Amino acid sequence: MSDKKVTLTTHYDDKETSVDLAVLFPTLGRPVVDVRTITSQTGLFTHDPAFTATSSCESKITFIDGNEGQLLYRGYPIEQLAEKSNFLDVAYLLLFGETPSASERETYRQEIEDYSLINESLKTFFEGFHYDAHPMAMLMGVVGSLSAFYPDALNIRDADTRRKTALRLVAKMPVISAAIYKHSIGEPFVYPNPKLGYTENFLNMMFSRPNQDYEIDPLAARALDVLFILHADHEQNASTSTVRLAGSTGTNPYAAIAAGIASLWGPAHGGANEAVLKMLDDIGDISQVDKYIAKAKDKNDPFRLMGFGHRVYRNFDPRATIIRKLCHEVLAKYGSDPRLDLAIKLEEIALKDDYFIERKLYPNVDFYSGIIYSALNIPVNMFTVMFAIARTAGWVAHWNELVTTDHKIGRPRQLYTGLTQRNFK
């Protein structure tokens, strides 16, 4: 913090008021003006509906520099974590601030294993859903229902309870997600296997059947693990902000995470990878690629190349750079699907085309993640669920940070544009 100030002078109600606003200096990134005294000193509110110019909290978890294409978890570059770490350790890093020591890792892995079983009566919840219910609808309902199984989680002042809640969520998300898939295809649920790692277990719970051998492909497990690392956190995105806002009321943390899942579901957020696959289906054939590239460039045509461009990353998406190589390895092994050949062609043309080069429209992480999931036989309507499994680590880390620091209930104000007062007759 510093003594730097911005002075705001307002001319309102026939008087001039000057307010000194403190400038706050982050450890990385641009300074932030603290506007909290504006209302008490001038009687005016600030207006920023989509938070495009607003920092909503202080956080020590994740840093993004969109111009430089930089993403850090607890100070570590995402490239290094993706290359040298694994999802479970990264989740620990996000949750507790450091990667685990050898003995901490042993305890942590044992806890994850212990918490991975879901209560048998929770299984009856799935039966209440029709087989073709959207997996995100089921995920939201089942995770929300965990607040009934763990009412003690409301004891948010207790560090042990918070730790249990965090680890239960990380442990149970892949189990619940695979159970949702099994329910949708009418196959029996597969229990987690203590001999398998986190991502291997997920693949096994998704694809093994009691009447068949299932071999886990190390390339598939590694690709998925890297994708989980890349999606684990992204600072104050819509779903994380939703978790924080819900958490600020002191609600049960499972309910706050269910709110985050609801927010992630939208196509403007977690649904983008689904949109990439739908676009590939619409294009249909390599012979149509030029036509669709022309449509994307035509200002009179609303069509955009899904999976290209990013609001925050104006240079390149560091996550896309990491996953691109893995995507090509996965496609070299699994790529018999014509949609995947189409994706390679699209990427090739767009990366050479002046329109995309000039506007810095590179493929984003969703372009590659959708293709990898598809190559691994994960159905399109499960893509956002995959995102939710990974993002749970970030959501819980942010919830934990919120409830362990001084905070008030989140309560924005509004610009009222309705009717003025009138009498009811």
Ligand X SMILES: CC(C)(COP(=O)(O)OP(=O)(O)OC[C@H]1O[C@@H](n2cnc3c(N)ncnc32)[C@H](O)[C@@H]1OP(=O)(O)O)[C@@H](O)C(=O)NCCC(=O)NCCS
Give which of 323, 173, 373 is closest to 260, Cα–Cα. Answer: 173
State the amino acid at position 374 in one-letter form. S
* Shortest distance, position 284 Cβ to ligand X, whole Å: 18
180 binds ligand X (CB under 6 A): no
Residue entry with tokens 């974590």? 81
What tokens appear for 413 in the block?
A: 């104000």
Out of 181, 308, 334, 387, the residue judged to bind ligand X by CB under 6 A: 308
Who contacts 82 (Cβ-Cβ below 8 Å, separation ≥6)?
Answer: 226, 229, 230, 322
Interface with ligand X in residues 262-291 (CB under 6 A): 272
Interstrand relation of 32-33 and 62-65 (parallel, antiparallel or unpaired): unpaired
Question: Which region, left, alpha or beta, applies to residue 99 given φ > 0 means left and ψ of -120 to 50 means alpha?
Answer: beta
Q: How far is the CB of 363 from ligand X (least distance, A)?
A: 9
- 3-state SS track over 354-398: HHHHHCCCCECHHHHHHHHHHHCCCCHHHHHHHHHHHHHHHHHHH
Which H or E run includes 7?
strand 5-12
Give the shortest CB-310-to-ligand X separation in angstroms: 5
Using the minimum distance from each CB to ligand X, give the nearer residue, 228 or 308. 308
Check binding of 237 to ligand X (CB under 6 A). Answer: no
Specify whether 132 is catalytic: no
Looking at the Cβ atoms of 123 and 359, the one nearer to ligand X is 359
Q: Which of 89, 233, 317, 366 is catalytic?
A: 366
CB of 202 to ligand X, least distance (A): 23
Residue closer to ligand X, measured from CB, 311 or 425: 311
**Token pair of 146, please?**
């965990």
Give the contacts of 187 (CB within 8 A, at least 6 positions apart): 209
Structure tokens at 199: 């991502």
- End-to-end CA separation in angstroms for the chain: 56
Looking at the Cβ atoms of 182 and 310, the one nearer to ligand X is 310
Residue choice 304, 324, 328, 407 for contact with ligand X (CB under 6 A): 304
Structure tokens at 320: 């896309």
Q: Under the criterion CB under 6 A, does residue 73 sit at the interface with ligand X?
A: no
**158 a catalytic residue:** no
Judged by CB under 6 A, the stretch of 42-50, 149-157, 299-307, 396-404 that binds ligand X is 299-307
**In the bound complex, which residue of the shown chain has the CB atom lying closest to ligand X?**
309
Query: Quick one: which segment of 50-58, 90-98, 126-134, 301-309 binds ligand X (CB under 6 A)?
Result: 301-309
Question: How far is the C-alpha of 203 from the C-alpha of 224, rounded, in Å?
Answer: 9
Binding residues for ligand X, rule CB under 6 A, total: 14
Contact segment (CB under 6 A) with ligand X among 49-57, 87-95, 107-115, 304-312 equals: 304-312
Nearer to ligand X, 350 or 376 (CB): 350
Give residues 339-398 in contact with ligand X (rule: CB under 6 A).
359, 361, 364, 366
392 and 257 Cβ atoms separated by less than 8 Å: yes
Of 234, 310, 317, 398, which residue is the catalytic one? 310
Q: Which C-beta is closer to ligand X: that of 233 or that of 366?
A: 366
CA proximity to 91, closest of 79, 115, 103, 109? 109
Task: Determine which residue in the list 223, 232, 259, 306 makes contact with ligand X, applying CB under 6 A.
Answer: 306
In whole angstroms, how close is the CB of 274 to ligand X at the nearest point? 11
- Name the token pair of 342: 């189409």
| 19: helix, strand or coil | strand
Amino acid at 280: L
Q: Rule CB under 6 A: say whether 318 interacts with ligand X.
A: no
Residue number, 247 or 307, with CB nearest to ligand X? 307
Other Cβ atoms within 10 Å of 315 Cβ, number: 14
Contacting range for ligand X; rule: CB under 6 A; set: 48-56, 130-138, 300-308, 404-412: 300-308
- Note the residues at the interface with ligand X (CB under 6 A): 272, 296, 304-311, 359, 361, 364, 366
Mind telling me the catalytic residues?
310, 366
